[in-house]
Structure 1
């Protein structure tokens, strides 16, 4: 699934089940092992881990919940405080508990490798977006960075939609523009085309269109021209 198609599908989703279906389709078309969206902490909700959208087998999900692995999963533990992407190879593997956990996860088809993107939302919510694969080690090292940027954009877009569809974000909360969104809008202010902005920022054309789209939505504007004018008026650029 191309990034523009994925963004459009997320935008059009009208239910949490719809978002879950998008993850399944996205996994099938991208060739990864699994995709997981996990809202770990939402201030407006007292329930821990209030939203889970995933493509794991039901047997692993049942096992994970029954064993309360939320509290010992090395990736979740690291993700609670991380701000940068987490390569699963960098988290704790040495303890018997961690070693057993990863071995069991692999036996349920979770995947040999993975990276997890921490998400920090505008209302102080926290979430994790995970991509796993069964690729060989050398392929994994080449592959992970080539897809990281697009997955990062889509993860934040998915999080925003999930919070709204789950009723966990108030409509009046002002969502700040990310640095990439501001850079792309600044490019438009300078008269650059999307393709030129992509070259300036070393991004794909699809990623630039995605950042402009999310910026427009955050600014609650119907067109990019309106979004640029509003951002300038509010001194956001």
Structure 2
């Protein structure tokens, strides 16, 4: 007799329910940031990123609101090197409405985007990730990613 095997749950339902509640109750960017900061530990993840790009033609705004659990050193490098402009995750997320896994991105070796992603591994960003593009009713765009 074979026992039915079930896949492990990535996020426990109680943890997810609590996080969704905390996120939807947030009344400020600070409260939203605080709720998102707890996500990796509660849900057995490496990192979380929420990027609000805004609306209009200037989606790639380096001063857009970002909440992330990435190491501070990587955040500074990313900002100082203007990686936002070449980041293939951001490019796809802001121009496509469907969730995607990073492993499905087609990135040629030797490109700046490839080098940036390889460098990110040195900062323990994780190499298995899911990004979910966000679209507001006013045309604003954002991106949520977990690694």
TM over 0.5: yes
1:20 aligns with 2:20: no
Q: Is the 8 A contact 2:55 2:140 kept in 1?
A: yes
Which of the two has greater helix per residue?
1
Q: Who is 1:73 aligned against?
A: 87
Do the aligned partners of residues 115 and 64 (structure 1) sit closer, same or farther apart at CA in structure 2, a change above 3 Å counting?
A: same
* 1:89 CA drift (Å): 0.8
The CA deviation string for residues 145-197 of structure 1, in whole angstroms up to 9 with x for no partner, is: xxxxxxxxxxxxxxxxxxxxxxxxxxxxxxxxxxxxxxxxxxxxxxxxxxxxx
1:9 aligns with 2:26: no
Question: Which structure 1 segments of 5+ residues have no match?
Answer: 133-237
TM-score, length-scaled by structure 2:
0.80
Secondary structure of 1:38's partner? strand
Matches within 5 A, 1:95-114: 95-96=109-110, 97-114=112-129
Secondary structure of 1:37's partner? strand
Do the aligned partners of residues 46 and 55 (structure 1) sit closer, same or farther apart at CA in structure 2, a change above 3 Å counting?
A: closer
Secondary structure of 1:80's partner? helix
Give me the whole-angstrom Cα distance separating, in 2, the residues matched to 1:81 and 1:47: 11
How many residue pairs get matched?
131
* 1:28 CA drift (Å): 0.6
Q: Who is 2:144 aligned against?
A: 129
Structure (1 or 2) with the larger CA radius of gyration: 1
TM-score, length-scaled by structure 1:
0.51
Q: Is the 8 A contact 2:15 2:42 kept in 1?
A: no
1:51 aligns with 2:73: no
Which of the two has greater strand per residue?
2
* 1:47 CA drift (Å): 8.7
The CA deviation string for residues 62-112 of structure 1, in whole angstroms up to 9 with x for no partner, is: 000000001101111111211111110111332312221111001011111
Q: Is the 8 A contact 1:85 1:118 kept in 2?
A: yes
* 1:14 CA drift (Å): 3.1
* 1:46 CA drift (Å): 9.1
Give me the whole-angstrom Cα distance separating, in 2, the residues matched to 1:112 and 1:7: 25
1:92 aligns with 2:120: no
